[in-house]
Structure 1
Amino acid sequence: MTKKLTTEGKYTYAEAGEGPAIIILHGLMGALSNFDTTFNHFSSNGYKVLIPELPLYKLPLLKTNVKQLSKFLKDFLEHKKIDKAILLGNSLGGHIALYFTKQYPENVSSLVLTGSSGLYEKAMGDSFPKRGNYEYIEQKAKDVFYDPKIATKELVDDVYNTVNDRVKALKTIYIAKSAIRHNMAKDLPEMQQATCLIWGKQDNVTPPEAALDFHKLLPNSDLFWIDKCGHAAMMEQPEEFNKILASWLASK
């Protein structure tokens, strides 16, 4: 479904369904297709679901940061004439959702975070990106998941090509440093939006203690664990992820 993309001006996105809007925000190395199962499920069950392609490698270098990506999201919502949305973010996408909520709380009805950065300073990887070494990149990609087979050759090749593109590698570093700079710990207690935290118990990137900290700091949050699951729950355990999220949304 997410292969059917629409392009309008500077925006490229997938959209389907009718109802309350869910905006899905992908991670730094995350393809839109990572959310295929979630996109299909919720767009078929009473929600309008949109996944914009974030301009991670299209912004000028000095504007390649969490703040500008949040501004891009604001512009996208205005372009789509969406006043209020549920924001669902994984990894960097969760961080952008949080920063957006800090800046534009009136546009956020609720938050869904899975493996989000924003608190844990190694969320973008300790020594990543390291160029040239395919085996190293392959191992780093496998470490993202509980089941290393999720890191297909296609996925590893995409990451390898990104970090071996000099401009993309530099922008990846700028985004990672921006994520560390924009730590959200002081802002979270001010966020009153209902928040669903769905976390893999074996997340090595944003580990369980990060989820516990989010739960402690966000005043209106619920925390759900998925076992045998790493950093990208919506990819690794999509049915369980959708079941948890559907039940949570129905309760609000």
Structure 2
Amino acid sequence: RVLRSHLISMAATNLAARFAGLRAPPRVTRGSRSIRRTVVTVRAAARGEFASFFPDEVTALEEPAAVEMAKKARQVSVAVPGRDKPVMTSCVSSPAPKGGEDVSPFVLIHGFDSSCLEYRRLFPLLTERAEAHAVDLLGWGFTDAGDAGIGDYSPEAKRAHLYAFWKQEIGRPITLVGASLGGAASIDFATAHPECVERLVLVDAQGFIEGLGPMGMFPRPIALAGVNILKSRPLRNTANQMAYCDRGRFATEDAMRVGQLHTFQPQWADATLSFMKSDGYKVAKRVREITQKTLVMWGRQDNILDPAYAERFAEEIPDSKLVWVEQCGHVAHLEQPKFMAQTLFDFAGVEAKVAA
């Protein structure tokens, strides 16, 4: 029993450390008991402002950017070939503003065990000059596959779902942005469907770590227990702390709540376990096959993925540019969103200046 507990804890910690691409906001300290009661009343009244596919815990979010992003989220019915029923796909989308019709749409792909809320600070900046979509991958975020009879959440299934979303909702070449494990998903998609991707952006991306290690080989009861530990506050808080350079400002309890929110979805544990059993993404050999113009962005103080990977991406991708993000950990889109937005506009040839 002790060994089993140790294995579960070790495996869950390993997953979080390797693939965390968490989130963050400024914390508001609560004062008296009467204030707490007032806050609870306001939160309860606010439930109707969010889509029904969100768990009730959404009302606990405090950061304005997270609240606004959640309010804008919707589910679209996406027909995926080979599936009996459409997949209700959660996303936040914004059409091109006046003058931005000719700019390639930005499609934002979140990291491991995350959601589109990860882009809550970057997304509004991008929509000022371009069409943008933050999409929840199959089996993660708030994309509902539980009622669609989908038991396969492998990289191949995620790719097929993303392609179906692109074909239905966008239908023209995009600038694909992938953060952390979302980088591996983006490499997988860009090399499989080069006609869909005009430009590729890799943000502290995973690409050279193959598979998921021993987690994929554990018996289901042990693996499922390990997955459920990923939901725990202590583990989420640890990964949250690892994600940032300025932890005092960004690694808050509310950030942890944003990052944990999707784990309350009914299909979350089974979907995560299915992904683990598939052994995850293996794209290292495909990095050299990337044909798109590629921007590599990397936080100088990334404590989750070695910054040496940034230089390796730049060396192996034929048409690439490396931009270091100073005073930044693993999540540039959360810690330095204005710098990242301006860098993306420059990369995409968009004439726009984001206020410092």
Question: CA 1:211 to 1:175, structure 2 compared with 1: closer, same or farther past 3 Å?
Answer: farther
Find out whether 1:134 has 2:212 as its counterpart.
Answer: no
> Which has the higher mean CA deviation after the structures are superposed, 66-75 or 131-140?
131-140
Task: Work out the CA distance in 1 between the residues paired with 2:246 and 2:313.
Answer: 25
Q: Which residue of 1 aligns with 2:256?
A: 156
Find out whether 1:2 has 2:69 as its counterpart.
Answer: yes
Q: Which residue of 2 aligns with 1:113?
A: 202
Equivalent residue letter for 1:153: E
Does the Cα contact within 8 Å between 1:6 and 1:12 map onto a contact in 2? yes
Post-superposition offset of 1:130 = 7.1
1:37 is paired with a residue whose SS is coil
Unaligned stretches of 5+ residues in structure 1: none
Does the Cα contact within 8 Å between 1:13 and 1:52 map onto a contact in 2? yes
Task: Work out the CA distance in 1 between the residues paired with 2:340 and 2:207.
Answer: 21
Find out whether 1:12 has 2:90 as its counterpart.
Answer: yes
> Which has the higher mean CA deviation after the structures are superposed, 143-152 or 86-95?
143-152
Question: CA 1:129 to 1:152, structure 2 compared with 1: closer, same or farther past 3 Å?
Answer: farther
Task: Work out the CA distance in 1 between the residues paired with 2:105 and 2:303.
Answer: 31
Find out whether 1:247 has 2:346 as its counterpart.
Answer: yes
Question: CA 1:33 to 1:182, structure 2 compared with 1: closer, same or farther past 3 Å?
Answer: closer
Match of 2:306 among 207, 211, 221: 207
What does 1:1-252 align with in structure 2 at a 5 Å threshold? 1-3=68-70, 4-9=72-77, 10-18=88-96, 19=101, 20-45=104-129, 47-57=130-140, 58-59=144-145, 63-121=152-210, 131=229, 134-149=233-248, 150-157=250-257, 159=259, 168-169=268-269, 171-175=271-275, 178=278, 181-250=280-349
Does the Cα contact within 8 Å between 1:117 and 1:206 map onto a contact in 2? yes
Question: CA 1:32 to 1:163, structure 2 compared with 1: closer, same or farther past 3 Å?
Answer: closer
Does the Cα contact within 8 Å between 2:114 and 2:262 map onto a contact in 1? no
Question: CA 1:170 to 1:147, structure 2 compared with 1: closer, same or farther past 3 Å?
Answer: farther
- Bigger relative contact order (CA 8 A; separation at least 6): 2
Equivalent residue letter for 1:56: G
1:25-63 per-residue CA deviation (whole Å, 9 max, x = no partner) reads 111243323323321122111x11011222324557852
Task: Work out the CA distance in 2 between the residues paired with 1:230 and 1:33.
Answer: 18
Question: CA 1:35 to 1:166, structure 2 compared with 1: closer, same or farther past 3 Å?
Answer: closer
Equivalent residue letter for 1:139: T
Task: Work out the CA distance in 1 between the residues paired with 2:166 and 2:297.
Answer: 24
Question: CA 1:133 to 1:49, structure 2 compared with 1: closer, same or farther past 3 Å?
Answer: closer
Post-superposition offset of 1:230 = 1.0
Post-superposition offset of 1:170 = 5.1
Tell me which structure has the larger Cα radius of gyration.
Answer: 2
- Richer in strand (by share): 1
The TM-score normalised by the length of structure 1 is 0.84
RMSD of aligned residue pairs (Cα, Å): 3.0
Task: Work out the CA distance in 2 between the residues paired with 1:160 and 1:38.
Answer: 19
Does the Cα contact within 8 Å between 1:122 and 1:206 map onto a contact in 2? no
Task: Work out the CA distance in 2 between the residues paired with 1:36 and 1:123.
Answer: 28
Question: CA 1:37 to 1:158, structure 2 compared with 1: closer, same or farther past 3 Å?
Answer: closer
The TM-score normalised by the length of structure 2 is 0.62
Count the aligned residue pairs. 248
Task: Work out the CA distance in 2 between the residues paired with 1:250 and 1:64.
Answer: 35
Q: Which residue of 1 aligns with 2:3?
A: none
Question: CA 1:197 to 1:176, structure 2 compared with 1: closer, same or farther past 3 Å?
Answer: farther
Post-superposition offset of 1:134 = 3.4
Task: Work out the CA distance in 2 between the residues paired with 1:175 and 1:203.
Answer: 25
Question: CA 1:198 to 1:177, structure 2 compared with 1: closer, same or farther past 3 Å?
Answer: farther
Question: CA 1:164 to 1:248, structure 2 compared with 1: closer, same or farther past 3 Å?
Answer: closer
Unaligned stretches of 5+ residues in structure 2: 1-67, 78-87, 216-225, 351-356
Post-superposition offset of 1:158 = 5.2
Does the Cα contact within 8 Å between 1:6 and 1:14 map onto a contact in 2? yes
Question: CA 1:63 to 1:37, structure 2 compared with 1: closer, same or farther past 3 Å?
Answer: same
The alignment-based identity, stated in percent, is: 22
2:345 is paired with a residue whose SS is helix
